[in-house]
Amino acid sequence: HNIQQFRLQKNSNLPWSTSSTTTTAIDVIQINLAKSKVATAHLETLASEININHFLVQEPYVKEGKIAGVPRKWHQWLSSNNKAGIISLPSTNNPIFICSTTNLTAIKIQTITGPVNLISAYSSPYAELQDTAQDLANLLTKIGPEQALIGADMNAPSTLWGYANNSPRGNIMEDLISGLNLHLLNEKNSEPTFQRRKAKGWPDLTLVKGVQLARTASWKVRDELSSSDHKYIHTQLGISVQNHTYTRFKTAYGGHRKFSMHFKKEIPQIQQQLHDCNTREQLDETTSLLQRAIFRCCQKAYKLKKVKQSTKVTWWTQELDIKKKEMRAVQKRANNTTGMEQTRYQLLFSRKQALYKKLSLRAKRTSLKNFCTQTKNPYGIPYKAIVKDNLPPSDLFKIMDQPEEGDSLSFANRILQELYPQIPTPFQRQPQNQTAREEAFTKNGIARIMQKVPIKKAPGYDGIDFIVLKTIFRT
């Protein structure tokens, strides 16, 4: 399953049972969440309002080694100090996890033009910036000529990205950017990315490796409330990504008689080709012919099943929506006034924000409690949400000592080679013994198997459901 997912992202000769859609841009949100439960939980509400593919986060709220408060179906990766993280939404192809160091974490995504690396990094103002800079330089060197997008909170003041004065940390970052030929997306006169009542700054940097990627990128500071003292930074990469999915049919709602009628017309050709099989290659070709014939008949007889990605936030309430609008109104007045009046609005905003955070946490807890207590099946969704392991297929790569450079197909081939190494064996001539001919399958034996197959199980990569096999047997 893992290898097939990687192959689908690269292979142009796709299996007949897949369909593809192309998106023309990659949307990435970058933010320092200040270890806030509420700010981390509100990533879900932002994803329901605007199109987002990936989050590059710094200082998320972490519990038991995972970013807490985000949906379990979201893939996530953390640096070893839990200060830098990446979250990928399920609407994207499976990214490939490539590395995690003390100060950064990185993944690789496959685009039509080639692989693109996404990197999230963090350096505390009380730590040595040189350590994070060295980790970043090492990784960018290892990936070779591949393109990369870096979202980092480096706490490095410099006039190049908005500060009034330079600093030693800022000089280190300037040297790193020029030394690695990186492109700074931050605009010098942009809104501050960090803002408190009596302080503001531009500590969050967005960097790009690769001239072509930099030309397609757009960057802006969003004005949505983040429940953190940092703001959302929205970077859009104007490169196309092809998403591949397996076609599923609605086999539980009839259409079997129509399928049988179409499949009967295919049987003579399949039988003739089976009789003519003399080699392994001919048998493989006949098997492929049979699968394609079944799939064509399914397309004529059944409707397509569309998997809907729900963007609704279950714990969000109308009361929270009202409080959020009130906060926005007070924030605008604070920004448009000066002196004592501005201070009054800033204090009012702080009180409303504290109440908003309290209500958000209460709504999230109440929603989870109601969901778990109202379920009828003890082994249903709440049980699976707790016990199910949520590691994406790409995490296979982190246990292998392999280079970070390469596309999804080369990664898949390396994993295959690791799992099934080719071991040369000396040739030994074996005496030819006459093997006993195996007994042929009987109709009754196949009928017993068909009775036991689980009809509710999802189909394999050929797209053929078990209920379809039962229909073929009856035909």
Are 149 and 119 in contact by the 8 Å Cβ rule? The answer is yes
Mean pLDDT of 80-89: 94
Cα separations (Å) of 342 from 334, 349, 351? Answer: 5, 10, 14
Lowest mean pLDDT among 82-86, 89-93, 170-174: 89-93
Q: How far apart are CA 409 and CA 7, in angstroms?
A: 6
Q: What is the mean pLDDT of residues 229-234?
A: 95
Instruction: Check residue 170 and give its pLDDT.
Output: 94
Q: Of 151-165, 232-246, 300-314, which range is least confident?
A: 300-314
Instruction: Please name the residues in contact with 72: beta carbons below 8 A apart, sequence gap of 6 or more.
Output: 385, 388, 390
| Among candidate residues 187, 190, 305, the one with its CA nearest the CA of residue 252 | 305
Cβ 233 vs Cβ 206: under 8 Å:
yes
Domains of the chain as residue ranges with CATH: 22-244 (3.60.10.10), 251-306+442-474 (no CATH)
Q: Is residue 9 a contact partner of residue 218, using CB atoms and an 8 Å limit? A: no
Cα 200 to Cα 162, 191, 194: the distances in Å are: 10, 10, 5
Identify whether the C-beta of residue 136 lies closer than 8 Å to the C-beta of residue 116. Answer: no
Q: State the chain's mean pLDDT as an integer.
A: 84
Q: What is the pLDDT of residue 386?
A: 62
Q: On the CB side of 172, how many CA atoms lie within 13 Å of its CA?
A: 17
**Token pair listed for 324:** 């959020």
pLDDT, position 18: 74
Q: What is the pLDDT of residue 458?
A: 67
What torsion do the CA atoms of 334, 337, 341, 342 make, to the nearest 10 degrees? 40
> Is the pLDDT at 396 greater than 80, yes or no?
no
* Contact of 237 with 25, CB cutoff 8 Å: yes
Amino acid letter, residue 399: I
How many Å apart are CA 325 and CA 355, to the nearest integer? 13
Mean pLDDT of the 33-45 span: 93
Higher per-residue pLDDT: 157 or 16: 157
Asked whether the predicted pLDDT for residue 36 surpasses 70, the reply is yes
What mean pLDDT comes out for the span 107-135?
A: 93
pLDDT in tens, 43-55: 999 998 999 999 9
For the chain, the straight-line distance linking the first and the last C-alpha, in angstroms and rounded, comes to 31
State residue 7's pLDDT score: 40
pLDDT at 41 over 60: yes
In the predicted model, what is the mean pLDDT of residues 231-252? Answer: 87
Q: What is the pLDDT of residue 100?
A: 92
Would you tell me the crossing angle of helices 466-474 and 280-301 to the nearest 10 degrees?
Answer: 100
Judge whether residue 271 has pLDDT over 80: yes
The two beta strands, 200-201 and 194-195, are: antiparallel
DSSP letter string, 39-54: HHHTHHHHHHHS--SE
Range with the largest mean pLDDT of 123-132, 417-426, 430-439:
123-132
pLDDT at 60 over 70: yes
User: If you ran DSSP here, which 8-state letter would residue 404 be given?
Assistant: S
Kindly tell me if the per-residue pLDDT of 348 is higher than 50: yes
Give dist(CA 411, CA 417) in Å, integer: 10
The pLDDT value given to residue 264: 92
61, pLDDT greater than 70: yes
Lowest mean pLDDT among 370-384, 399-413, 422-436: 422-436
Predicted confidence at residue 3, as pLDDT, reads 39
Place of tokens 């009202």: 322
| In the chain, % of residues over pLDDT 90 | 42
Pairing of strands 62-63, 200-201: unpaired
**CA–CA gap between residue 372 and residue 327 (Å, rounded):** 32
Long-range contacts at 468-473 (CB < 8 A, ≥ 24 apart): 468/249, 468/251, 468/259, 468/294, 468/298, 471/256, 471/259, 471/260, 471/263, 472/263, 472/294, 473/446, 473/447
Which pair of structure tokens corresponds to residue 350?
């702080």
> CA nearest 191: which of 165, 222, 214?
222
pLDDT value, residue 47: 92
Is the pLDDT confidence value at 101 over 80?
A: yes
CA 102, 104, 110: angle at the middle one, nearest 5?
A: 140
Residue 169: how many other CB atoms lie within 10 Å: 20
Task: Tell me which of 121-135, 242-256, 266-280 is least confident.
Answer: 242-256
Handedness of CA 17, 244, 84, 200 (dihedral sign): negative
For the stretch 198-220, pLDDT in tens is 889 999 999 999 999 999 999 99
